[in-house]
Amino acid sequence: MLRLLLNLTRLMFLAVVVAAMPIGIDKLSHAQESDRVTGLIMSEGWELVQANCTECHSTLLITQNSGNRAVWKSRIVWMQETQGLHELSEATENSILDYLANNYGQKASTRRAGLATNLLPENPYATDSQNGQ
């Protein structure tokens, strides 16, 4: 009888642990949760991007890009002038720009600097920049 009780307690303990696991995992990934359909980071303003920016192309075109506020502004202007993007109210555009610059901001270069010319192998092709070197 005691043994049965012990086993039951163990089972209940296990059930609680298993039930709590997804909650823990969910909390961990909460930092930068993305919308499952659009892939957009779900922070302030993401619904505006979903509503205004998904009509013509995939959000991948947005999430794979990056830039500061001015860069994002120039892309919006470009789409309005050449691709038929509708006018956005000032408030909407500001919120969208804040969202984009905050979540898909300018990246520091991840590439190493180029090698100095004297460290490079000889270039067998004639190029303008190599004349006399």
101 interacts with ligand HEC by CB under 6 A: no
The span from the CA of 98 to the CA of 93, in Å, is 8
Considering the rule CB under 6 A, would residue 52 count as an interface residue with ligand HEC?
A: yes
How far apart (Å, rounded) are the C-alpha atoms in residues 62 and 99?
12
Which residues make beta-bridge pairs with 77? none
* 61 is a site residue for ligand HEC (CB under 6 A): yes
Task: Count the residues of the shown chain that bind ligand HEC, applying the rule CB under 6 A.
Answer: 15
Is residue 71 a contact residue for ligand HEC (CB under 6 A)?
Answer: no
Taking the CA atoms of the chain, what radius of gyration do you get in angstroms? 27
Residues that bind ligand HEC (CB under 6 A): 52-53, 55-57, 61-62, 65, 75-76, 79, 83-85, 96
